[in-house]
Structure 1
Amino acid sequence: MTLSSLIRKQRLILLICLGLIVVTAVASMSIGHSPVRLNRLIPIFLGEGTFKEEFVLFSVRLPRIIITFLSGMALALSGSILQSVTRNDLADPGIIGINSGAGVAIAVFFLYFPIDVGSFAYVLPLVAFAGALITAVLIYFFSFSRINGLNPIRLVLVGVGFSTALSGVMIVIISSAERSKVDFIAKWIAGNIWGSDWPFIWALLPWLILLIPFTLFKAQRLNLLSLSEESAIGVGVRLERERLVLIMAAVAAAASAVSVTGGIAFIGLMAPHIAKALVGPRNQLFIPVAVLLGGWLLLFADTVGRNLVDPDGVPAGIMVSLIGGPYFVYLLLKKKK
C-alpha cells in the first residue's frame, strides 16, 4: 500500500475513533445511578438543566470522562514510544514496572509527607514521574550490555521482575499504613479512577500538550530506532541520547496518567498493536491512531465497569486487565513462533 493511501486510511480510522469516543462519552454521561436522559444533554450544556442535572454532569461525570480519556491517551503514547525504542512489541509501562514505580512513589508521598490540598493534584504527577524515572533507569541499567546493547527480551523480563518486586513493596507499605489511608492505596492498585475532579484534568493536560507534539516531532527518530542498532548508527542517530530522551518522554506520559487513574496496565500494549495492524508500523501514522484508541479503550472500560456491579462498580484497571491479560499471552505465544 502506498504512503498516500495509508494516510487516507489513517484519516478514516481517526474519524471512526473520534466517533467511538463521542458515542462512548455520551453513553457515559447518560447512564449511572442518577440517569440523565439523552434529550436533556444539550439543554444542560446550554445552561437550561436543573441543579441536580448540572451537578451530576459537570461535577461528577464529565470530569471523570475527560480524565479517563486523557489518561488512556497518555498510556497509549507511552506504550508506543517504549515499543519503538526497545524494538519489543511486548513493552508496556504497566507490564515492565514503570507504573509500579510511580505507584510506590505516590504511596510514600501520600503516607509520609505533609499534603497541601490545593496543590495535591499538581504535585502528584511530579512525584509519580520521579518514582517512574528511577524505576526506568534501573530497568534500563540491568537490561543493557556493553557488548550487545539493549536486549529487548531481557528488558521485558527485568521489567516484570521489577513490577513484581515493587508490588511486594506496596504490600509492605500498606501493612504499615494507617487504616484511614489504606483505602487510597488499595484503589490505586486496583486501577480505580480516583482523581475524577477538574484540578486533576488541569494537572494532566499540560503533560499531553507537551508530549504528544514532541513524540510526533521525534517520529522519524523512532522509525530509525525501530531498526537494528547498526542501521540507526549508520544514518547518524545518536543512539543512547535519543533513547534516553524518548524513554523519559514515555515515563512522563505513563506517570502523569497513573498518578490520577491508578495502576492500569495493558492500554499501552493493546492500543499501539491495534494501531499498527490498521495503518502499519510508521510512527507518524500509528501513534495518532494509538493515542485515540488508548483514550477510547480506557473510557469504554471505565464506563462499562462503573455500571456493571452495584454500588461502586468494577475498577477500570480490572476491566482492562480482563481484556489485556489474554491479549498479552496471545502476543507472547505469537512472538515465540
Structure 2
Amino acid sequence: MEQNGLIKYIFLLISISLIVLSLAYFSMTNGVYPITFQEFYHSIFRISLHEDIDLLLFDFRLPRVILAMIIGFGLGISGSVLQGITKNGLADPGILGINSGAGAAIVIYMFFFQESISDDSITAIMMMPMAGLVGGLLAAFIIFFIAADSNRLDAQRLLLTGIAISSGFGALSLYLSLKMKSQDFEMATIWLNGSIYSANWLFILSILPWFILIIPLIIKKAYILDLFTLQEEVLKGLGVKVEKEKWILLLSSVAIVSACVSVAGNIGFIGLIGPHIAKLLIGKKHRYSLIICGMIGMLLMVAADYISRTIVAPAELSIGIILSIIGVPYFVYLLIKAKV
C-alpha cells in the first residue's frame, strides 16, 4: 500500500509539473505580442539574440511566470498547514484575515517608504516581507486569541473572527492608500486587489530566502499535521508538545503568506482550493499532499495570471478578481456541504 501511494505521488507530481510547465510556456509565448517557438527557443538558450524578444521575455514575462509559480506554491502549502492546524477545511489565509493583516502592514510600510520602493531600492523591497510578517502575525494572534475557547479553536468563531479582522485591516489599508500620492495610490489599489503586473527579478529575490528556509521546515513537520487529526489529549500522551508545534507551523505559514502578499498583494482562495484538490487526488497524508497542494497552487496561479493578462487585453484584470470568480462559489459550496 505504501509503495502504491509513493508511485501515485510521483505520477501526480510529474503530471502536474508538466501541466504547469506547459501553461508557463503558453503564458510566455502568447499575449498582445506573441512569440514563436523558434524565437522562444533561441532567446532562452542564447542561440540567436533579438533585443525585442529578450526584453519581452526576460524583463516582463519570465519573471512574472516564475513569481506566479512561487506564490502559488507558497499559498497552497500555507493553506494546507492552516487547515491542518485548525482542523477546519474552510481555513484559508485570505478568509482568516492573515492576508489583510500582512497587506495592511505593507501598506503602512509603503506609505512611509514609497519613494524608495518606487525607485526599486533593494533594501526597501527586501524589507517588505518582514513588514508583512509583522502584520500577518498580529492578525493571526488576534484571530486565534478571540477564536480560542478553553484552549480549543472553535471553527465557526474562527471563520467569523477572520472575516471581521479581514474587514478591519482592509479598511485601514484603504484609508492609508487614500493618503498617498495619486500615482502611489493607483499602485497600492492594484496591489491590494492582488496583482503581479509589476513583477521583476528583485521581487523574486526578496521572497526566495523565505521559501528556502521555511518550506523544508514545514515539509519536515508534515507528520505533525497528520497527528493533529487526533484529539489533543492523545497527542500529549504521545509526547507531542502541541502548543509549541502549532505555533511553529503557524509562524511558518504566516511567514510564507506574508512574503507572497509583499510582492503580489491580497490573493485569496488558492490556500482554500489547493488542499481540497490535493486530498482528493492523493489522500490526507500531509507528507504527500503538501507538495501536491503547492503544485496545484502553482497551476492555479499561472493559469489565473494568464487569464488576467489576456482576457481584456491590452488592459489587465487583477489576479485576485479571477481567483475570486473561481473561489467564491467553491467557498459557498463548502459552507453548504458543512451544514449538510
TM-score under structure 2 length normalisation: 0.95
Cα pair 1:88 1:153 within 8 Å, conserved: no
Hey, what does 2:296 align to over in structure 1?
293
Matches within 5 A, 1:160-199: 160-199=163-202
Cα pair 1:265 1:321 within 8 Å, conserved: yes
Residue type of the alignment partner of 1:239 = V
Cα distance in structure 2, aligned partners of 1:239 and 1:195: 41
Hey, what does 1:87 align to over in structure 2?
87
Classify 1:243/1:306 alpha carbon distance in 2 versus 1 (closer, same or farther; 3 Å).
same
Hey, what does 2:72 align to over in structure 1?
72
Cα distance in structure 2, aligned partners of 1:312 and 1:78: 31
Mapped pair 1:157 → 2:156: no
Mapped pair 1:55 → 2:58: no
The count of residues paired between Structure 1 and Structure 2 equals: 335
* Unaligned ranges ≥5, structure 2: none
Cα distance in structure 1, aligned partners of 2:301 and 2:292: 14
The one-character-per-residue Cα deviations of 1:121-168 (angstroms, maximum 9, x if unpaired) are: 2111111111111111111111112x3522233212211111112112
Cα distance in structure 2, aligned partners of 1:124 and 1:194: 17
Cα distance in structure 2, aligned partners of 1:324 and 1:8: 30
Q: Which moved more, 1:111-120 or 1:155-164?
A: 111-120
Cα pair 1:105 1:130 within 8 Å, conserved: yes
Hey, what does 2:148 align to over in structure 1?
144
Cα distance in structure 2, aligned partners of 1:60 and 1:175: 29
Cα pair 1:224 1:231 within 8 Å, conserved: no
Cα distance in structure 2, aligned partners of 1:162 and 1:322: 22
Matches within 5 A, 1:1-337: 2-47=1-46, 48-113=48-113, 116=116, 117-145=121-149, 147=150, 149-337=152-340
Classify 1:56/1:114 alpha carbon distance in 2 versus 1 (closer, same or farther; 3 Å).
closer
CA drift at 1:234: 2.2
Residue type of the alignment partner of 2:51 = F
Fraction of identical pairs, as percent: 35
Cα distance in structure 2, aligned partners of 1:74 and 1:245: 16
Residue type of the alignment partner of 2:205 = W
CA drift at 1:314: 1.4
Residue type of the alignment partner of 1:13 = L
CA drift at 1:173: 1.7
TM-score under structure 1 length normalisation: 0.96
Cα pair 2:109 2:131 within 8 Å, conserved: yes
Cα distance in structure 1, aligned partners of 2:184 and 2:139: 24
Q: Which moved more, 1:173-182 or 1:13-22?
A: 173-182
SS at match of 2:127: helix
Cα distance in structure 2, aligned partners of 1:114 and 1:182: 10
Cα pair 2:144 2:158 within 8 Å, conserved: yes
**Runs of at least 4 residues of structure 1 off by over 4 A?**
none
The one-character-per-residue Cα deviations of 1:30-78 (angstroms, maximum 9, x if unpaired) are: 0122211122211111211310011110111000000111011111111
CA drift at 1:277: 0.7
Cα distance in structure 1, aligned partners of 2:210 and 2:65: 18
The one-character-per-residue Cα deviations of 1:86-137 (angstroms, maximum 9, x if unpaired) are: 1000110011100000111111111124654122221111111111111111
Classify 1:325/1:52 alpha carbon distance in 2 versus 1 (closer, same or farther; 3 Å).
same
Cα distance in structure 2, aligned partners of 1:10 and 1:291: 13
